[in-house]
Amino acid sequence: MISTVSLRKNHEFRIVYGKGRSKANKYLVMYVFPNKPGINRLGISVSKKIGNSVVRSRVTRLIREAYRLSEENIKTGYDIAIIARTSMNGATYSETHRSLNHLFKIHKLLIHTEDRGKK
């Protein structure tokens, strides 16, 4: 991931959950909170309700890959926490990618192709 660091600590997630804006769709919930540095920090949360460790790991990999491929089109300077819903259990990669991009559009974090040089 080009300019993305992971949210790892519990207090980092709590700040994003408490002060950030949240939007949701069928598969994902996304919290976004502006941060000081010019980088994005990404945190992914997958509950045990989704399935066993194999299923949770697969869901995490799907979300991380969908983010990685969309990363060059996302504005920087945000803490992003993504929570997988139970419907993600059987989701394909294309559904995950569409769902993630839908949430980025709702949060107005997508950069249009003509604005890409302005970041």
Give the CATH number of the domain where residue 25 resides. Answer: 3.30.230.10
pLDDT tier at 47, thresholds 50, 70, 90? very high
pTM, full prediction: 0.89
**Domain membership of residue 57 as a residue range:** 4-108
Total of domains in the chain: 1
Residue 115 lies in a domain: no
pLDDT of residue 119: 46
Burial of 109 (0-12, 13-18, 19+ CB in 10 A): buried
pLDDT of residue 10: 94
> Tokens in use for 113?
């192709």
Residue 119 lies in a domain: no
Q: How far is Cα of residue 105 from the mean position of the Cα atoms in its chain?
A: 12
Map residue 46 onto helix, strand or coil. coil
Residue 26 lies in a domain: yes
